[in-house]
Chains A and B, each alone.
Chain A
Amino acid sequence: MLLEAIDVTKTFGALTVVNTVSVSLNKGDILGLIGPNGAGKSTFFNCLTGDLMPTSGRVILNGEDVSMMTPEQRAVRGLARSFQVPQTFETMSVLENVMIGAFLRTSDPARARRRAYEVLDLVGLVDVASAVAGSLGTPGRKRLEIARALATDPEILLLDEAMAGLTATEVRQAIELVRKIHQTGMTLVIVEHIMEVIISLAQQVIVFHQGHQIARGTPQEVTRDPAVVTAYLGKRAAANAARGFAGDPA
Chain B
Amino acid sequence: MKRSVWLLLILALVIVYPLLFTTPFLQRLGALVLLYAIAASAWNIVGGYAGQVSVGHVVFFGCGAYASMAFFTHFGWPPIAAVPVGMAASVGIAALIGVPTLRLSGHYFSMATIAVAELARLIVTNVEALGAAVGLSGPVMPRTVFDLSFTSALPYYYLFLAVLLVVLGLTYWMENSRIGFYLRAIKDNERAARSLGVQAGRYKLYAYMISAGLTSVAGTLYATMYGFIDPESGLGILTSVKILIMAALGGAGLLFGPLVGAAILVPLEEISNNLLGGKGAGLTFVVYGAIIMIIARFYPSGLLKLLLDRMAAAKPAPSDKQVRDVA
Chain A positions within 8 Å of B, measured between CB atoms, are 49, 51, 70-72, 75-76, 80-81, 83, 87-92, 96, 99-101, 103-104, 107, 109, 112, 124-125, 127-128, 130-131, 135-137, 139-141, 143-144, 148-149, 151-152
Contacts and interface: CB of A to CB of B under 8 A. Distances in A.
- Secondary structure type dominating chain B contacts: helix
Given A51-B191, A90-B189, A131-B318, A101 B196 contact: yes
17 contacts: A71-B194, A75-B194, A80-B195, A80-B196, A83-B192, A88-B189, A88-B192, A89-B193, A96-B184, A103-B178, A104-B197, A104-B198, A125-B327, A128-B322, A136-B324, A139-B327, A148-B196
B323 A89 contact: no
Given A88-B189, A109-B177, A152 B326 contact: no
A87 B178 CA distance: 20
Interface of B: 176-178, 181-182, 184-185, 188-189, 191-200, 318, 320, 322-324, 326-327
Contacts of A124: 326
A129 B189 CA distance: 19
Contacts of A99: 181
A150 B177 CA distance: 21
B31 to A, nearest CB: 35
Given A92-B185, A128-B327, A135-B323, A109 B194 contact: no
Q: Nearest 6 pairs between A and B by C-beta?
A: A140-B327, A75-B197, A89-B188, A87-B192, A104-B197, A127-B326
A140 B224 CA distance: 55
A76 to B, nearest CB: 5
Nearest to A96: B181
A56 to B, nearest CB: 24
B215 to A, nearest CB: 25
B197 A72 contact: yes
Contact of B196 (A75, A137, A139, A141): A75
A124 B188 CA distance: 24
Contacts of A135: 320, 323
Nearest to B199: A72
Given A72-B199, A92-B188, A152-B197, A100 B181 contact: yes
A104 B184 contact: no
B197 A89 contact: no
A168 to B, nearest CB: 17
Contacts of B188: 89-92
Contact of A100 (B185, B199, B323): B185
A225 to B, nearest CB: 33
Contacts of A76: 197
A189 B200 CA distance: 25
Contacts of B178: 103, 107, 109, 112
B189 A87 contact: yes
A100 B193 contact: yes
B194 A100 contact: no
Contacts of A137: 324, 327
A109 B196 contact: no
Contact of A125 (B181, B199, B326): B326
A157 B322 CA distance: 29
B196 A100 contact: yes
B315 to A, nearest CB: 13
Nearest to A135: B323
Residue picked from B178, B185, B188, B327, most chain A C-beta under 10 Å: B327
